[in-house]
Each structure stands twice: as C-alpha cells, then as structure tokens.
Amino acid sequence: MSQSQHQSKEQQIADAQANLPLPEQPPKASDWNSADMRTTGVGSGRISGNAGTDAGAEAGLRGPAVKASEEEGSRSGVKKHPDSNALSLIGRLAALSSEILNPAQPIVNILPTPIAILSSRASHFCHQKTVSQFMFRRILTKMAESAPKRLKTDSSVLVGTHSGHFHADEALAVHMLRMLPAYRDSRLVRTRDPKTLETCHTVVDVGGEYDAQRNRYDHHQRGFDTTFPGKNTKLSSAGLVYMHFGRDLIAQSIQQAADNSTAADSSADVELLYNKIYENFIEAVDAHDNGISRYDRDALQAAGIEQRFSTGGFTLGAMVGRLNPNWNDPKPADADEAQQAEDQLFLTASRRIGEEFERTLDFMTKAWLPARTIVQQAFDQRAKHDPEGRILVIEGQSVPWKEHLYALEGEGNPSVLYVLYAESTNPGAKWRIQCVPETQDSFTSRKPLPEAWRGFRDAELDGVCGVDGCVFVHAAGFIGGNKTFEGAMEMATKALAL
C-alpha cells in the first residue's frame, strides 16, 4: 500500500495545499479590482480609465463626493476591504461548488482571494478522477462573469435632484446622464435634504453648487453666470450636464451607427454636432428655466410688435410642466407614498423629454450630418444647371438641405432660389421643385413660384405654365412637382424668368 493511502484525508488535503504554486508576485491592490465596486460598479462600454483620476473622468464617472477622511477611514490598524462581504461570498460559493461536484474532496480554508487568482489555483483542489478541470473552470468563469454584474446592481451610482415641482431642465439632465454607460444603472433620489444629497455621487439642479470635479451641477446659487462656449444664455442643469457630457453622448451615438457608412466619423464632426445640438435643442431648455425670452420684450414693444398667438403650451417645457401633480389632485396621506407617486411622474417627464432629445441626437448624427456632404456636392455643381447658380439639384434621394445650404452660402450671399430633388429613389420617381425660404424658420420664399401657377394640378397646370407632366403647385407657391426631372427643371427655368 502506498504512503498516500496510509495518510488521512485531512493530511492529503494539507499536503496538496502546501504544494500549491504561488504567484510570481504577491497580490497587489489592483488585483482586487475585479470585485471592487469602484471599478465594476461604474463605467462600461466605450468609457475607460480610472474613475476621477484621468481622462476617463471627463467622459465617465468621478469618485463619490465625500471627504477624504470618510473615504480612507482610519490610517492605523488593518483596513477592511470595501467589498470584503462580496469577496467572502465568492469564496464560499467556490467552496460550495467544489463540494457539490467532488464531495470526496471539498475545498477548505479558502480565503476571499480575487477571482483571477482563485481561478488559477482552483483546479488543484479538484481530483482529476472525479471532477474535470474543464467543468470546474466553467463554474468559476460563470462566477467571475456574474459577480461584477451583481456588484454593479447592488451598488449602483446614486444621482440626486430636488423634490417638489419638477422642470424640463433637471428632467432632461437626469435622462442624459442615464444615457451614458457609467450612469445607465444609476439610482435616483429626489430630495432637498443636504445630508442625503451629500451621499449622492452626482447632484443636479439642487444643492447650490457647481463643481464638475465633485459632480455637482446646480445653477441657482448667487453669482452663477456660466454659459456654453460662444453663447450668452445662462446654463441650467441640463446645459451644465450637456456641456460636460455632450461630446460623449454624440460620440456614443456615432459609434452605435458604425455600421452605417454615412455616419459621422471624425472629432471635427463631433465638435460640429456638439455646438449644433446645443444651439438647436439644449439652449432653449436653458433659456426656459432661467426665464430668458427669445426676443427683447422692450424692443418689441417699442416697435409696436405684438404676439399674434401664444406658444406657451406647445413647448417641451410646457409638456413637462403638465406632468406635475395638479394642486387639487388626491395626495396619499403617507409621506413616503406621496413622494413615490411624485417621483413616478418625474420619471415619466424625464423619459418624455429624454425621448425627444434622443430623437434629435439620432437625427443629427445619422441623417443631418451625412446630408452635409450631399448638399456640398450639389452646391459645387449648381452652375451646371444655371449660370448664376440659382438652381440646386440634389442627386439621388432627398436630404435635409436648408441649414447646410445657408451655411454654404455664407452671410449676405443668398444665391440659390430653387432646389430640385426626387421624391424617392424608385425608378421613375416624380420630382419636386421647392423654393428656398428667406431664412431657415421663415415661411416667406426668396422667389415663390409664379402666382398664375398656384393651386392648379395635372393637365390644367400643364396648360397654364406650358410644361408637360406637371403634378401640382401649392397654393402658397413654395413648392411644386413634375413627373420627370426634365419637367421640374423646365418649371424652375421658366419661374426664374417670370
């Protein structure tokens, strides 16, 4: 009988443990990162880097806004690892898994070592005759995959904003944050209690502090006058969040459209959209929350200009406002239940305005920006159709062209009067002739289609304008159509001469 057969089972296990290979270097602090909520509980996807200590902080999350003494604890004695409970659980699960698979040789005395080290040692505790190393490694692999997910869910980032009547700016700010991978699983607390807000990783629209390094984004404090670069409108919490995270949201949207060959792909494109989306969407939210009018009211009054109708109920700010509880709505007697009901309305508002922002972002990255190249090509070739460059022909499919055309023309050079494009890419598609407005938001055309053509259709219009294949001319004269490109071009040429 061999010596191993004379040994007790406990002695065999002890010998096996004594002969385990050790790592080349002792475990370092970084070895704990696989189960550290500061690295697994925040940040994912495109964002990388250490939270709060490098360039990743500009795109992802920074460290919680707590005092150093609270973060570090006592400097004397043994410091307990912040996730020791989770690590102990992993160790117990590893031992239990081995005991189930190989009851003849259970794992004993396993310390909460990092999963990476545990995986390298685990097979030495498995008897090759009863449990395959492959199966055991699969169990540990699944544990390694599930542990970070569990830690991330259990210790998600806490975002704070104020309770009570909510507005468009903080509703949008919260949604924009949650669009980022680092905040996607974040929890939300709505409160005005300073002590509760101190526990939050990020605070928006409350707290009286703007400090990006501490993730504080309020604009109500005395002396606050921060604006977006190149703009004069004071920022709200939405503008603050966008100013710091907008580029990442745009780059993320472009990355998601990577399979689309027409998607933007350069840092210059990101910067262009960063400014354009602020101008077209975010700035209005900032102005609304800060009570800034689009026009100088005194100047309008002095000029005798009166508003024809109200657009107050037509804005996104009004939409969010209507989701607040009415003053006479039934209110739960229990304070916690009442707060929960209010929070649910806030989440609805945040989702609604957030959806509009996402649609804008999606359109700008996947449609508006790629259209710029197409309009540029048409603009460069406009003299081919008219010596004075007054007719712009968009080849292939129609694209959003107005804003790009104004930018290409520059200030004080409104040369293009008509834009021609096909209704679709299908063979034999009809063509449109559209008048260029005086400004992007204007309903007044630089040169409308002739008055004599307006309101007529088909054969009747053919006889009026002397062009075959006419389809229609709108009663307002800003657009018309023809069955062929040649017909639309003839309509445009004749209209120029009238």
Structure tokens given for 123: 């097979």
Q: How many CB atoms lie within 10 A of CB 123?
A: 15
Q: How many CB atoms lie within 10 A of CB 425?
A: 9
- What's phi and psi for 103, nearest 5 deg? -60, -20
The mean pLDDT value of the chain amounts to 77
Quote the Cα angle for 271-277-281, to 5°. 160
Strand 216-217 to 210-211 pairing = antiparallel
* H helix or E strand, kind and range, residue 131: none
pLDDT per position as a tens digit, 58-116? 334 444 443 333 333 333 333 333 443 443 444 444 444 444 344 443 333 333 334 33
Neighbour order of strands in the sheet with 391-397: 391-397, 418-422, 431-435, 479-482, 470-473
Nearest CA to 159 out of 215, 102, 240, 88 is that of: 215
pLDDT per position as a tens digit, 164-178? 999 999 999 999 999
Beta bridge partners of 234: 227
3-class DSSP state of 266: coil
CA distances from 440 to 17, 407, 444 (A): 77, 11, 10
Residue 136 has pLDDT above 60, yes or no: no
pLDDT above 90 covers a percentage of the chain that reads 58
Strand stretches in 41-98, DSSP E: none
Could you tell me which residue, 322 or 297, shows the higher pLDDT? 322
Q: How many CB atoms lie within 10 A of CB 481?
A: 21
241: DSSP letter: H
Split at pLDDT 50, 70, 90, the class of 255 is confident
Report d(CA 379, CA 358) in Å as an integer: 30
Nearest CA to 282 out of 252, 242, 229, 312 is that of: 242
* pLDDT of 416: 97
pTM of the model: 0.62
Report d(CA 447, CA 339) in Å as an integer: 57
pLDDT per position as a tens digit, 469-483? 999 999 999 999 999
Neighbour order of strands in the sheet with 216-217: 187-190, 158-161, 202-204, 216-217, 210-211
Report d(CA 479, CA 491) in Å as an integer: 11
- What's phi and psi for 379, nearest 5 deg? -65, -40
pLDDT, average across residues 187-195 = 97
Report d(CA 398, CA 464) in Å as an integer: 28
* pLDDT of 43: 31
